[in-house]
Structure 1
Amino acid sequence: MTQIPRSALILGLAGLIPFLFGAGTLLSEALANFGMAQFGPRFIGPYVQIFYGTIILAFMSGVLWGFATKAEGTVATTGYGLSVVPALWAFFMVGGGPVSAQINLIAGFVGLLGLDYLFWRQGLAPAWWMHLRVLLTSIVVACLAVGVLL
């Protein structure tokens, strides 16, 4: 089965909201003003993307850790080691201003996609996993790129 389960797809797409909203507030002054009035400065522009992106990289480390539990021996050991990389990447590389933080988040999400592929190829992730991850990662990277390019 390679079709993404409906609940995983809906929740995955819902998880894009902070990235989409952040990009939208960079592109639309009216949306930025609305966001500032309703949520405050931390939840508009690159700031919501950076904060949320850091959390998602850490969350995805936990997902990969869960996949590693399906393996044994050196594959499991390698999986556990690799699973902490996205969280450590976010911890050490996100900072230094919004543009550099967004560039490093883009690199982190692209790197995460590589780890997703590795776990998937080893049969540790569901058959539909890469369909979901490519979709979500493409949108996240595009949203982060808005802040880098503007």
Structure 2
Amino acid sequence: MGQVPRSALLLAIAGLIPLGWSVATLVSDPAYEVSYSVLGGRFVGPYLHLSWGAVILAFMSGVLWGFATKAPRDQAAVCYALSVIPALWAFFMAGGGPVSAGMNLIFGYLGLLALDWQFWRWGLAPGWWLHLRLPMTVGVVALLLFGVMA
């Protein structure tokens, strides 16, 4: 499988920071107040939680699209179609209130992991891909779940 490149690992971990901060603003009044006064209402609690979760899920569609470019001609259409599912899921399912939207994002990330595995299995993703995606998915799902339950 191979080792995850350091830059990819650091950027992926940095992608967890907004979700972690949103959790902090859910459980800490001082964090909420500072974030709200300095950054505004979009950067606190469920607003940040759900918007960042949807943005990253859509971003991951782009990553899968990049993998699809390496697919053999007879497989390419399926790969491109699969690659847009996370973005469509985020667009259509990340509404309807913080609990249902959060749960739908969790399901979206679990579905994304299945797509990650399939693209890796087909040899379209780097050999180290699942070493990165599995722990990142666990982290994202845990943070989203905390936000749903808060």
User: TM-score, normalised to structure 2's length?
Assistant: 0.96
The answer as to whether partners of 1:26 and 1:146 remain within 8 angstroms in 2 is no
> Partners in 2 of 1:38 and 1:57 — Cα distance?
26
Q: For structure 1, which segment, 34-43 or 81-90, has the greater mean C-alpha deviation from structure 2 after superposition? A: 34-43
Q: How many aligned residue pairs are there?
A: 150
Q: CA RMSD in A?
A: 1.0
1:41 aligns with 2:48: no
Specify every segment of 5 or more residues in structure 1 that has no aligned partner in the other structure, as ranges.
none
Instruction: Assess if the C-alpha contact under 8 Å between 1:22 and 1:48 holds in 2.
Output: yes
Residue identity matched to 2:30: A
Deviation at 1:24, TM superposition (A): 1.3
Task: Give 2:50's aligned residue.
Answer: 50
- TM-score, structure 1 normalization: 0.96
Counterpart amino acid of 1:45?
G
Q: Percent identity?
A: 58
Q: CA deviation at 1:47?
A: 0.8
Question: In the TM superposition, what whole-angstrom CA distance separates every residue of 1:20-76 from its partner, at most 9, and x where no partner exists?
Answer: 111111121221111111111110111111111111111111110110111113321
Following TM superposition, where does structure 1 have runs of at least 4 consecutive aligned residues deviating by more than 2 angstroms?
none
Structure 2: how far apart are the matches of 1:133 and 1:52? 17
Q: How does 1:20-39 map to 2 (within 5 A)?
A: 20-39=20-39
- The answer for unaligned runs of 5 or more in structure 2 is none
Contact preservation (8 Å) 1:113, 1:134: yes
